[in-house]
Amino acid sequence: MKLKRALAVFVVLGLAVLILGGCGKNEQPAADSAVTPVVVATAEKGRLTRGDVLTGKVAAKLDISLVPKVPGKIAEVLVDVGDRVKAGQVILRLDAPEAAAAVTLAESGLRTAEINYASAKVNYERGKLLLQQEAISQAEFENMYEKPYELAKEAYERTAPAQLAQARANYENTILTAPAAGVVTARTVDPGEMAMTGVPVVTIVDLDSVYVECGASEKQINRFKIGQEVMVKIAAVSAEPLRGKITHLSPVADPRTKAYNLKIELKNEKQLIKPGMFAEVDLGAEADEKVLVPRDAVLSREGKTIVFVVENGKAMMREVRTGASDGRRIAVESGLNPGDRVIVTGQDILVDGAPVTIAESDNAPGGDNK
């Protein structure tokens, strides 16, 4: 009986040792010999958003459709689509020989009026002398000298210049000029065709600066002011947000959309931004770029804030100092560099230096896009 009891105690103690030994192993992080599959994301420089994102579309700062002031046959079109034009540059001429002839005739009339006025003035001075010498009567002076002088003066100073100005205006109406500098984006006529008033023939757009037009809600509008800088994301142009400035802010809501319209001006020297492009206006973005990683990459161990970085097939623990977060990404103030591959899945069971294999890369914003 004593032998049986001793064997039973021995068996129980042995099982206890095995059970305790097994539990101890399960509580430890992955051993160095075990290769842990992980998901990584690349630390990238960027700006955090606080959620105030408005959507809008790009519009040209200047978009002018030119129409002739008078109808007529087109003599020449001096620009084509894609041409850059200066303010005052001639765009189109109508075939207008009558208008040109009227200018020539009016110029001749002004010269004639000048000659007549000079002659009438000489006669007027002679008449005043004769009147003083009582060689003529007052009535003769008025009829023969004074009235012809006044009529000649009126013709030279008023009538002839007005006729010339009218003739020149009529002629200038047959010439279409650019009211401002820009790029020709449309041309709808050719020489020989008829131009009609009210029908656009050429469109000029200024793309050196563009607007992003969007609408803000009644809860948002009072947070903004003219001159405020905001960040604008145009995916078709750049992965990086562009810096813009609010230049227009409607004091009343649009009766149709119930939104308050605002315009944000962007510089566009390279003219990569085109009217009609979709834009996201991040009105709450941080002004300065930070090193950003997914929020899940950051752990807390023994009072330290850490992340795991994959280096040469191993998970290397890094202590970091974190900053603001938008709930999805977190700014890392120190301890990481752009391009570091941080582990975002599988890091909970890792120890410093543990071997890992990359199962996949997170392609979400702030993730590894390689």
Instruction: Work out the percent of the chain whose per-residue pLDDT is above 70.
Output: 86
* Confidence band of 33 (pLDDT split at 50, 70, 90): low
Predicted confidence (pLDDT) per residue in 137-195, tens digit: 999 999 999 999 999 999 999 999 999 999 999 999 999 999 999 999 999 999 999 99
- What integer pLDDT is reported at residue 282 of this predicted model? 74
Q: What are phi and psi of 317, to 5 degrees?
A: -80, 135
Residue 174: C-alpha distances to residues 73, 94, 96, 182 (Å)? 10, 5, 7, 22
Laid out side by side, the sheet with 90-94 consists of 175-177, 90-94, 72-77, 194-195
Task: Match 């010498």 to its residue by tokens.
Answer: 133
Helix (H) or strand (E) holding 202: strand 202-216
Q: What are phi and psi of 204, to 5 degrees?
A: -120, 130
In angstroms, how far is CA 310 from the centroid of its own chain?
A: 40
> Rounded to the nearest 10 degrees, what angle do helices 160-172 and 97-132 cross at?
170
Helix (H) or strand (E) holding 7: helix 2-27
Residue 236 CB: number of other CB atoms within 10 A? 12
Q: What does the block give as tokens for 209?
A: 């600066």
In b/e form, how buried is each residue of 20-51, taking b as 16+ CB within 10 angstroms?
A: eeeeeeeeeebeeeeebebbbbbbbebbbbee
DSSP, residue by residue, 138-181: HHHHIIIIIHHHHHHHHIIIIIHHHHHHHHHHHHHTTEEE-SS-
Contact 40, 358 (CB under 8 A): yes
Q: Is 66 left (phi over 0), alpha (psi -120 to 50) or beta?
A: beta
Contact 212, 245 (CB under 8 A): no
- Out of 12-21, 46-55, 60-69, least confident range: 12-21
In angstroms, how far is CA 258 from the centroid of its own chain?
A: 24
- What integer pLDDT is reported at residue 187 of this predicted model? 96
Contact 120, 188 (CB under 8 A): no
CA gap 289, 325 in Å, rounded: 13
- What integer pLDDT is reported at residue 234 of this predicted model? 93
- What integer pLDDT is reported at residue 23 of this predicted model? 42
Predicted confidence (pLDDT) per residue in 7-26, tens digit: 333 333 343 433 344 444 44
Contact 68, 195 (CB under 8 A): yes
Predicted confidence (pLDDT) per residue in 330-369, tens digit: 889 899 999 999 999 988 889 999 999 998 777 544 444 3
Nearest to 329 by CA among 359, 351, 280, 362: 362
pLDDT greater than 70 at residue 125: yes
Contact 48, 328 (CB under 8 A): no
CA gap 47, 301 in Å, rounded: 27
Question: Can you say whether the dihedral through the CA atoms of 301, 303, 304, 307 is positive or negative?
Answer: positive
CA gap 317, 309 in Å, rounded: 6
Q: How many CA atoms lie within 13 A of 58 on its CB side?
A: 27
Nearest to 183 by CA among 205, 165, 161, 162: 205
Which residues have a Cβ under 8 Å from the Cβ of 293 and sit 6 or more positions away? 41, 43, 307, 329, 330, 332, 336, 342, 344, 366
| pTM (global) more than 0.85 | no
Q: What does the block give as tokens for 171?
A: 């002629």
Name the average pLDDT for the chain.
Answer: 85
For residues 304-313, average pLDDT: 94
